[in-house]
Structure 1
Amino acid sequence: MPLAARPPAVAVPPWLAHALRAQRGPVPWSAVVRGGLAAGPLLLVAVLAGRPSVGVVAALGAMLAGINDRPGGRRTAVKRLGLPALAGACGLLVGSYTGEHVGPLALTGVLTGLGLVAGAVSAVGPVASGAGTQLLVGSAVGAGMPLPEPGWQRALLFLAGAGWLLGLRLVLPTPGAPSGDYRFDGERDAVAGVYEAVAALLDAAGGPDATTRRAALTAALDHAQDALSGPRLRRYAVSGTERRLHAQYVAALPLAEAATALAWAEDPLPARTVEGPRRLAAAVRGGRHPGPLPAPARSAPALRALDDALLHAADAFDRGAGTPHRGTHTRRRTARSVLRTALGAGGREYGLRVALSFGAAAAVAQALHHTRWYGLHAHWYWLPATAVFLVKPDLGPLASRVLCRAAGTVLGAVVFAGLALLLPRPAGLVALVALCGALIPVATRHFAAQTAVVTVLVLALVMVGGEPQASWSRIGETLLACAIVLLVGHLPAIGQRGATVRSRLTRAAQATDAYLAHVLGDGTADDRTGRWALRREAYRALAETRAAIDLAAAELPALARHTEGTDRVAATLERLVDTTTACAVHLDDTGRIAPRHTEHLRELLDELAERRERAGLSETAGLTGTAGLSEAAGPRGLAQTG
């Protein structure tokens, strides 16, 4: 067919494209092994002891912890797995005693109130979101699941199951990890990833992939920062490995700054330039010295900054151990900032939406339970528990979540219905639970796959607990929950539409303000540590904003239209931070801002004001202060150019 006669390609709607998209990457074999050793063995021990209900609750705690068992450092896993598990145990405790002592109306009110709190807290971040999810799931299960154990025992058993998986995470070595202190293999991999991202950005300088590589560098720095900020299990006995990793991370910050400035200049670099960061990455992974590093040319300020950063990094590697970096580069959320986020516009919108969905699902479930309609009453708690996963905005766009949840549940229920006819009981069901636990770390790459695996696991737990096969009831509860959440999610009067995106964009603009003001006038030339901290906070806030904007853009048009134009504002802020970084490097070398930088800053400030107005953000706090920086006073303000 001639080229001109080809039919135009059909564009897939963003909400459908998101539902079809899956994460990529190597199989996390260590997490697979932990998943296989978590829920299944706990359930087996309980069945052999004649107390299957004990194993069901413990396996449930291990399963939910397994969903949160993502790649990263061991110490950060304490927070990532432990805090949600504590919240889930509290929810199980509250739900158990509330379900026993109050009527349906009061129970619905309590669950709705918990939804309001959990939803608002979930806006704080991923760990808080996991805690909010497990709080609500635990409260629904505690209120509705028939178990012989009292509430306090259920909570302890739930914690024991999650604690068992966390213990495996802390103790088991990672297969293929380099020799040395394997407890820090996650941190070592994260720091090495920063140097590899620096090399990739230098390699892409002057090409079309530079912007993507700069975003990848930001993600690598965020990951390493999180990995190194976990709790110290031995507060006063910091190991030499930990000191080295902290020193190597700090040494990567000036490299990242210089690489960003070189990418901003849009000039291709010789291949020799990327060799130094690559050798440093290999040295981090192997736990050895990098050896001699090839020096780049020193023909421009950014190249001289790169050369100086490589010398500093080589010195840090040769010293082998330094003082762990504290405070400035460790991202700490104080109680005040957490409260401000939860009570802000994004937290209020999030909390109200979760409360209405969770409360409506609980009310419908109670009505079905007491009317015994179509057999959906037997596991009424599935309805509000399913609504929790569907209504969480940070888990993906609403339409994508509903499609994936429905498809995954139907697939999982049909598969289990067939397996239940073939597998011996209870041995076959226990083996099925162990298999599903091992599959969860891989299935988390796509919400439909995760739903299918979790559905099989939950239905197996129900049968081990002594209840009949419930595949068709599971499908009915899920489809009803999908309908409820779709309805509530599109109600026109729930908070301020796009509040989460706008609040994160405001935070990113404030961080950009602080960074630009520091470079142009407020900071001192010798305060590079403070400058790197402000730069990290600006890029991190922009990355979080980008993630929120991408999710909002993949909603159905009725919801996506409320955040139109915010992606262009974020793009301008990103270029503003890139230009500020180039200014900082040039100032270090010459003491003045070049006319090229001045021109770019003024253009970006004007563009930001225009795009802010088009997106309807002219009244948003934090987006107005940047324009005033064009009149920054002092020896390094825009008026004092080279």
Structure 2
Amino acid sequence: MTWPRALKQTARSGLTIERAKLTPVIAVRGAVGVALVIGLCLWRGDPALAVASAFGAFASGLVTFQRSMRPRPVLALGVAAALAVSTFLGYLAAAHLAAFVLLLAGWTLLAGMAWAIGPVSGLAGTQTVAIMLVTVTLPTSVVSALEHAALIFCGGLVQAALIIAFPVRPWGVQRDALADALAAEADYARRLRHDPVAPFDPAPLMDARLASEVTPRQARRRPVQLHGPRGLAERVRPVLASLADPVVGAPLEGPERDRARDLLQAAGAVLDAVAHAVRHAGPVRLPPEAMATLEVPASGPMLKGAARRSAYRLISLLADAVELTDEPVRATRPTTPAERGHLLRPSVPRLVPVALRALHREARWTSRFFRHALRVSVVACLGYLLGTALPFGHGYWAPLTSVMVMRPDFGQTYARGVARFSGTLVGVAVSGAVMALAHPGRSVCAALAVLFVFLMYLLMRTGVSVTSACVAGYVIFLLGIAGEGWTQTVEERVVLTLLGGVLAMLSYALFPAWETPKLRDRLAEWLEANGRYALAVLDRYARPAERRPRQVREALLDARAARAAWEESEARAEKEPVRHRGLSRTSATAAGAALATMGRVTMIMEAHLPDKDAEPSPAAAAFAAELRPSLERAVRAVRQRDRLEWRALRAVWERWDAESASQGVALRAADLLLDALDEFAEALSRGRGGRNRAARRGARGTIPPAQ
């Protein structure tokens, strides 16, 4: 992609206003927190304290609106404490330019590295830098600095208290995550009716698993509806795929396929009903036609073999899902780690070693987070020096814009830069017009600032340009409380915002951290994770008496994480104005589709795992024994741009096929697994031999995987 095209796409993305679900009650609660803090400080008669405390309440409330499964009061208190510390340190160094620039460089470097811990931590770090830049102009002594820092912490304390005192939809985030996972399963079931190998995005299941992590105290209060349906959703997905697959499930045409389509339609209806019940904490209302379809026909079962087993398993799982959501009451769950009644979420103190390990892991030159931290640190210092040198005053707005715009990837940085400048222009124009025409007093400015905070909280998910407009108006009215001239504020805001945005964009062009060159490594990691998942499943076929479900489960989660990492990298790479010299966009897409098919085939094998007392399969053991070294060689070949070979593995499968008396699920799935690996090799070798492969697949009667 060329630079002009990349800039055009990122600008369009930044200016896009999306339709999003609004949460007015939560927005009112956050705005009330800001209003309480401003009102108390104005009642004391100190506008400067009102401005400082309002920034603390605003930033603490802003972080609690981010997507996080942790309790919101914890986020508000944690961010408030970090804001108070950064503010006080900034106050101590503000009188000396060199000392403050050094402090700003070090603090911004740490805040940039916070993105390695997670997006919420990264945003919190960004807020601490912003508060350091804004409020250091307010105090005049160390005692005053302590007072301002304490008020900023009190602003976060007020937000946390409001969240506890006026909860809105308790467990709402967890309910929505689980309902989204069930709704995704329902949509998957309906798509399988028309496309037997339709792809499935595991992201909703990953979010539901993250949402199910609770503390022991939360586990004792968690609604029954949030206990079991997630695990059932995990088990339903492979059964749906197994029933629809034309190789190991119902035939592609005929009465059995019609019966499978009816079952899939009924499964979608039931899963949708369960999702609605979970989301709204109500009873499950099942459509009568779906219940009739899930009954065994009077003429007897219409499906045979593996398809019949999948159908019976599906009906049983759907019945369990309905039963688990029929009683919206609370119950006590086991709270000791040895009893796996729930997934334990680590406490805040236990997260510290995890965060330190993440920072240590990313503290290398090739890490995009480390390069982002260096980039934002240099830009913040340069922007502060330039803003101070310019004859405007309020020079902190240039580095403030840069820090708020910059993200670890190219697309978000440029999109946010364009959106922030355009939104700032609109916000400044509106708020400036109000100030010029109405000349509001201190109380009216405070009320207008709270109004703009409410609008920002309400419209936060519609786009950066909208929120930037609201923030611009909020800042102008807030500074109007302290007696700042609105004409000077408007002029400074526009010019310095433009300067900060230009610095942010130039920094990424001069010191990039491109994702495109890492695509082969991401593919190799996904192939390796898929291989471990396939080996864990094949091991169960080879030694069914040695049941190790946890091994299979952990391998599946690793494969999902690797797929999510690949999709995130591919999405970032698509927006970058660089090309991968050894991997075209078409080849990358085809390789990703092949690995997705590999994971789907392994999942189908998992759906038909043998019982504990079943006979071991020496052929499956031999296939797994050859698959392990073949995958190790393939992973190295992907990274080193060598050719992939699967002939030895194909020879083992052919011996298995020749020695087998019947076409079992494992044998047919292993054949599809080889097809996926061949497709992966062809994608990376730019399609050589694709015509012969397609002809051979057609001769065997299978259908190509979905692209």
TM-score range, shorter chain: 0.7 to 0.9
Residue 447 (structure 1) shift: 0.9
Q: Which residue of 2 aligns with 1:352?
A: 371
Paired letter, 2:261: L
Q: Which residue of 1 aligns with 2:226?
A: 245
Return the alpha-carbon distance in structure 1 between the equivalents of residues 427 and 283 of structure 2.
50
After TM superposition, the structure 1 stretch with the greater mean CA deviation from structure 2, 321-330 or 23-32, is 321-330
Paired letter, 2:602: T
Cα deviations across residues 22-69 of structure 1 (Å, max 9, x unaligned)? 433321222222233122332122112212222222221222233333
Cα deviations across residues 122-157 of structure 1 (Å, max 9, x unaligned)? 123212212221232233235455566633333332
Aligned counterpart in structure 1 of residue 574 of structure 2, from 548, 553, 557: 553
After TM superposition, the structure 1 stretch with the greater mean CA deviation from structure 2, 576-585 or 478-487, is 576-585
Secondary structure at the aligned position of 1:308 is classed as helix
Paired letter, 1:238: R
Return the alpha-carbon distance in structure 1 between the equivalents of residues 210 and 77 of structure 2.
16
Q: Which residue of 2 aligns with 1:516?
A: 534
Secondary structure at the aligned position of 1:393 is classed as coil
Aligned counterpart in structure 1 of residue 502 of structure 2, from 478, 483, 486: 483
Q: Which residue of 2 aligns with 1:188?
A: 175
Cα deviations across residues 345-392 of structure 1 (Å, max 9, x unaligned)? 66x3323333333333323422442x4x231xx212222221112211
Paired letter, 1:164: V
Q: Which residue of 2 aligns with 1:38?
A: 33
- 2:122 paired with 1:129: yes
Cα deviations across residues 376-415 of structure 1 (Å, max 9, x unaligned)? xx21222222111221136953321221111111111111
After TM superposition, the structure 1 stretch with the greater mean CA deviation from structure 2, 477-486 or 190-199, is 190-199
Does the 8 Å CA contact 2:386/2:395 hold for their aligned counterparts?
Answer: no
Distance 1:571 1:37, change over 3 A: farther
Return the alpha-carbon distance in structure 1 between the equivalents of residues 481 and 518 of structure 2.
42
Return the alpha-carbon distance in structure 2 between the equivalents of residues 170 and 511 of structure 1.
42
Q: Which residue of 1 aligns with 2:134?
A: 141
Q: Which residue of 1 aligns with 2:206?
A: 222
Does the 8 Å CA contact 1:273/1:296 hold for their aligned counterparts?
Answer: no
Which residues of 2 match residues 194-205 of structure 1 at below 5 A? 194-205=181-192
Return the alpha-carbon distance in structure 2 between the equivalents of residues 614 and 97 of structure 1.
60
Which residues of 2 match residues 323-338 of structure 1 at below 5 A? 323=333, 326=340, 334-335=354-355, 337-338=357-358
Q: Which residue of 1 aligns with 2:465?
A: 448
Residue 515 (structure 1) shift: 2.6
Q: Which residue of 2 aligns with 1:623?
A: none
Return the alpha-carbon distance in structure 2 between the equivalents of residues 76 and 206 of structure 1.
40
- 2:492 paired with 1:473: yes
Does the 8 Å CA contact 1:362/1:381 hold for their aligned counterparts?
Answer: no
Q: Which residue of 2 aligns with 1:178?
A: none
- 2:318 paired with 1:303: no
- 2:185 paired with 1:169: no
- 2:595 paired with 1:573: yes
Q: State the TM-score, normalized to the length of structure 2.
A: 0.72
Residue 500 (structure 1) shift: 7.8
Paired letter, 1:306: L
Return the alpha-carbon distance in structure 2 between the equivalents of residues 410 and 67 of structure 1.
22
Paired letter, 1:194: A
After TM superposition, the structure 1 stretch with the greater mean CA deviation from structure 2, 298-307 or 258-267, is 258-267
Paired letter, 2:156: A
Residue 599 (structure 1) shift: 2.4
Q: How many residues align?
A: 584
Secondary structure at the aligned position of 1:397 is classed as helix
Secondary structure at the aligned position of 2:510 is classed as coil
Q: Which residue of 2 aligns with 1:107?
A: 100
- 2:9 paired with 1:14: yes
- 2:415 paired with 1:388: no
Does the 8 Å CA contact 1:415/1:456 hold for their aligned counterparts?
Answer: yes
Return the alpha-carbon distance in structure 1 between the equivalents of residues 91 and 452 of structure 2.
27
Return the alpha-carbon distance in structure 2 between the equivalents of residues 147 and 601 of structure 1.
70
Secondary structure at the aligned position of 1:587 is classed as coil
Distance 1:367 1:17, change over 3 A: closer
Cα deviations across residues 276-302 of structure 1 (Å, max 9, x unaligned)? 323322432454554888337773144
Does the 8 Å CA contact 1:205/1:262 hold for their aligned counterparts?
Answer: no
Residue 476 (structure 1) shift: 1.0
Residue 449 (structure 1) shift: 0.9
Paired letter, 2:188: L
Secondary structure at the aligned position of 2:207 is classed as helix
- 2:457 paired with 1:463: no
Secondary structure at the aligned position of 1:26 is classed as coil
Residue 230 (structure 1) shift: 4.7
Paired letter, 1:38: G
Cα deviations across residues 217-261 of structure 1 (Å, max 9, x unaligned)? x333233333332556x46x812x445412333333212343354
Return the alpha-carbon distance in structure 1 between the equivalents of residues 81 and 460 of structure 2.
24
Distance 1:269 1:559, change over 3 A: same
Return the alpha-carbon distance in structure 2 between the equivalents of residues 166 and 345 of structure 1.
38
Does the 8 Å CA contact 1:358/1:384 hold for their aligned counterparts?
Answer: no
Does the 8 Å CA contact 1:121/1:342 hold for their aligned counterparts?
Answer: no
After TM superposition, the structure 1 stretch with the greater mean CA deviation from structure 2, 277-286 or 575-584, is 277-286
Paired letter, 2:81: L
Aligned counterpart in structure 2 of residue 427 of structure 1, from 439, 443, 459: 443
Does the 8 Å CA contact 2:449/2:477 hold for their aligned counterparts?
Answer: yes
Residue 97 (structure 1) shift: 1.8
Distance 1:160 1:562, change over 3 A: farther
Paired letter, 1:538: A
Distance 1:312 1:220, change over 3 A: same
Does the 8 Å CA contact 1:114/1:136 hold for their aligned counterparts?
Answer: yes
Distance 1:156 1:561, change over 3 A: farther
Return the alpha-carbon distance in structure 2 between the equivalents of residues 45 and 550 of structure 1.
47
Secondary structure at the aligned position of 1:269 is classed as helix
Which residues of 2 match residues 501-540 of structure 1 at below 5 A? 508-509=526-527, 511-521=529-539, 526-528=547-549, 531-540=552-561
Question: Any gaps of 5 or more consecutive residues in structure 2?
Answer: 247-251, 618-663, 688-707
Q: Which residue of 1 aligns with 2:563?
A: 542
Return the alpha-carbon distance in structure 2 between the equivalents of residues 145 and 504 of structure 1.
48
Secondary structure at the aligned position of 2:608 is classed as helix
Q: Which residue of 1 aligns with 2:362?
A: 342
Does the 8 Å CA contact 2:79/2:156 hold for their aligned counterparts?
Answer: no
After TM superposition, the structure 1 stretch with the greater mean CA deviation from structure 2, 35-44 or 466-475, is 35-44
Distance 1:129 1:573, change over 3 A: farther
Cα deviations across residues 315-364 of structure 1 (Å, max 9, x unaligned)? 54468757468598567773575245433566x33233333333333234
Paired letter, 1:28: T
Distance 1:56 1:190, change over 3 A: same
Return the alpha-carbon distance in structure 2 between the equivalents of residues 393 and 28 of structure 1.
29
- 2:344 paired with 1:363: no
Which structure has the larger Rg? 2
Paired letter, 1:137: A
Does the 8 Å CA contact 2:105/2:380 hold for their aligned counterparts?
Answer: no
Question: Any gaps of 5 or more consecutive residues in structure 1?
Answer: 1-9, 175-181, 616-642
Residue 584 (structure 1) shift: 0.8
Paired letter, 1:226: L
Does the 8 Å CA contact 1:552/1:560 hold for their aligned counterparts?
Answer: no
